[in-house]
Amino acid sequence: MKKNILEVKNLTVSFNGEKVIDNLSFSLREGENLVVVGPNGAGKTVLLKTLLGINPYSGEIKWKEGIRIGYVPQRFQIDKNLPLSVEDFFNFKTLDRKEIISILNAVGINELSILEKKIGVISSGQLQRVLIAWGLLNNPSILLLDEPTSGVDIGGEETIYNLLNKIDKKMKLTTIFITHDLSIVYKFADSVLCLNKKPICYGLPQEVLNPERMKELYGGEIKFHHHDQ
């Protein structure tokens, strides 16, 4: 039987006296994928940063002993004139060139010329793959991804999710990832957490995602469809 890799109980996070996350509880077993959905300002990014130990909180966060965590932040804007190549970026981790090439290959980047390019001029899809590769360094037990397709076009979005699915199966990762794309939940999630400062629903997507819950979560009619497996 798979053991829990993470247990969260009665988690509350407040800033300046205002609750951003209120009384949240959930657990995650080894090898499972948890998808977190909710509107802007719902506390989703705050949740990931709290799990990483960045934010103060009350309640309990219990990681499995010896856990290694990888983190992929939301895509961020990089100055096109920044004199930092992709290889320089990875060298912050003191990797040799062979290790950099290997991790880039793992995320579907096979053109070695990218190493010499400024990180600020590569495409949004390439940047997202570079960030995912960064998160996979040191062979993490769990990968936290904050909207991994943010700023990527629809075709690239599907490709990024397929890439994550491939990596997940190959490395047997546990993942927590945030997305606004409800249609992707059925394809990748073992469990789904609906968050809008407080938990709205949590469980198997087929059981907890329904029109009533979605209306409570987003405050209106939400339509989404299943992607083919």
The structural domains of the chain, ordered by start, are 4-218 (3.40.50.300)
The pTM of the full predicted model, rounded to 2 decimals, is: 0.87
- Whether residue 127 contacts residue 78, with contact meaning beta carbons closer than 8 Å, is answered with yes
Q: Which helix (H) or strand (E) holds 138?
A: none
Q: Which of 28, 40, 46 is nearest to 180 (CA)?
A: 40
- Report residue 108 as tokens: 């579907």
What lies within 8 Å, CB to CB, of 216 at 6+ separation is 196, 200
Residue linked to tokens 């006296």? 17
CA dist 115 and 98 (Å) reads 12
Residue with tokens 């965590």: 69
3-state secondary structure of 22: strand
Sequential pLDDT tens for the chain (229 residues): 678 999 999 999 999 999 999 999 999 999 999 999 999 999 999 999 999 999 999 999 999 999 999 999 886 778 888 999 999 998 888 778 888 898 898 888 888 899 999 999 998 888 888 998 999 988 899 999 998 776 665 555 667 778 888 887 788 889 999 988 777 788 889 999 999 999 999 999 999 998 889 899 988 655 554 444 4
Q: Is 30 helix (H, G, I), strand (E, B) or coil?
A: coil
Terminal-residue alpha carbon distance, the chain: 26
